[in-house]
Amino acid sequence: MRVLVVEDEPDLRQSLMQSLREDGYAVDGSDNGADGLFKATSWEYDAIVLDWMLPGLSGLELLEQLRREKPTPVLMLTARDAIQDRVTGLDGGADDYLVKPFSLGELLARVRALIRRSMGQSSNQIVIGDVTVDLAGRVVLRGGEPTSLTAREYALVELLALHRGKLVTRTMIYDHLFDEEDDSLSNLVDVHVSHIRKKLGRDFIETRRGQGYILSD
Ligand code: CA
């Protein structure tokens, strides 16, 4: 899953991006509203963490322009804990908000929940045969035992599991799993699929030649 962080305070932006990366997300960053809007409308993000007070275009203005084009889930960050601000943000198209200062753990939980809900997934667990994908713990169990997937392998399994029964194209994988800073070597999807099959079973991921991959429902 790929997340955009639009936040002009460098330290906070870096710590948010690092925490999200450590949780296995592909993450892009932006330090102003105009660039954030450009990225938000140009790429397929699974969620956007959007600061309200930004130079140039405000977070709320960015959100209003984004909503004319895309329903990407948005978590607004605000320094002001006023009810009217929350109402304005939610009415402006935000899906959730957090008041600064907040804990990184809570932000990560809210991002997970936003993405899960946007995919129509109400439960935190997806069971496919003897494999369980635990979206909250970000682990995959096989036969009840935790498996040793890398963060990138987990992200690919999660993407396939959230689309189970449907074709996931290579383009979707590139759009949702890799960010601007990824080098080409880490982008070898076939290698990740091969490693996942060794850990979760040969038949776990089905290849549709020339199209992509699918997890049976
Ligand atoms: Ca700010």
Q: What is the pLDDT along the chain (217 residues), one digit of tens a residue?
A: 999 999 999 999 999 999 999 888 999 999 999 999 999 999 999 999 999 999 989 999 999 999 999 999 999 999 877 788 888 888 889 999 999 999 999 999 999 999 999 999 889 999 999 999 999 899 999 999 999 999 889 999 999 999 999 999 999 998 999 888 876 655 688 899 999 999 999 999 999 998 999 998 7
Is residue 27 within 8 Å of 3, Cβ to Cβ?
yes
Please tell me the distance between residue 112's alpha carbon and the centre of ligand 1 in angstroms. Answer: 23
Task: Count how many Cα atoms sit within 13 Å of the Cα of residue 143 in the half-sphere of its side chain.
Answer: 3
Which two tokens mark 158?
A: 């999660």
Please tell me the distance between residue 97's alpha carbon and the centre of ligand 1 in angstroms. Answer: 14
Is residue 23 within 8 Å of 46, Cβ to Cβ?
no
Distance CA 36, CA 42 (A): 10
Find where tokens 């600061």 sit. Answer: 51
Amino acid identity, residue 172?
M
Distance CA 103, CA 155 (A): 23
Which two tokens mark 118?
A: 């946007």
Q: How far is CA 100 from CA 78, 178, 211, in A?
A: 6, 28, 44
> pLDDT value at position 187?
65
Please tell me the distance between residue 36's alpha carbon and the centre of ligand 1 in angstroms. Answer: 13
Is the preceding omega at residue 101 within 30 degrees of 0, hence cis?
Answer: yes
* pTM exceeding the 0.85 threshold for the entire prediction: yes
Please tell me the distance between residue 54's alpha carbon and the centre of ligand 1 in angstroms. Answer: 5
